């Protein structure tokens, strides 16, 4: 019995830890990374900054939502992450050479991949029946 309670607590801890990191990543995308992309030496296009901001807003809001409704949050993260990757790839096709520098390309790629990774984690843990991330009375 004690092992089952510890297993539930451990699953709740890891779920909360992962989505808390997602919240921090989204907050960094909303505050720090757009400023860094605009003020870097090579500069960025407005499309890149919008993609980074959208990725931050998506990751932040859906990670907070995951504490209440993990299934809905994981679907938003998966769909939004795929859309962001398509938008970043489409932006490179429409505006070739608009992204300058490896850090800017990395931020564009990570804005979608972090959302997809969090969405996959949420979908898998929801399907496996992990407990809610909130302590219910």
Tens of pLDDT along 5-55? 898 889 999 999 999 999 999 998 888 766 766 666 455 677 777 888 888
Largest distance between two CA atoms of the chain: 60
Measure the CA–CA gap between 22 and 41, rounded to whole angstroms. 28
Closest CA to 116 of 55, 42, 32, 35: 55
Measure the CA–CA gap between 65 and 76, rounded to whole angstroms. 10
pLDDT greater at residue 104 or residue 84: 84
**Full-model pTM:** 0.83
């Amino acid at each position: 019995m004690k092992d089952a309670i510890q297993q539930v607590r451990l699953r709740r801890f890891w779920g909360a830890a992962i989505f808390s990191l997602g919240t921090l990543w989204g907050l960094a995308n909303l505050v720090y990374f757009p400023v860094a992309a605009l003020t870097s030496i090579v500069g960025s296009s407005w499309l890149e900054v919008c993609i980074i901001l959208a990725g931050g807003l998506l990751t932040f809001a859906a990670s907070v939502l995951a504490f209440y409704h993990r299934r809905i949050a994981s679907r938003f993260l998966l769909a939004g992450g795929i859309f962001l990757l398509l938008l970043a790839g489409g932006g490179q096709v429409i505006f070739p050479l608009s992204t300058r520098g490896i850090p800017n390309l990395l931020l564009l790629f990570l804005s979608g991949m972090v959302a997809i990774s969090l969405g996959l984690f949420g979908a898998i843990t929801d399907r496996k029946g992990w407990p809610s991330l909130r302590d219910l009375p």
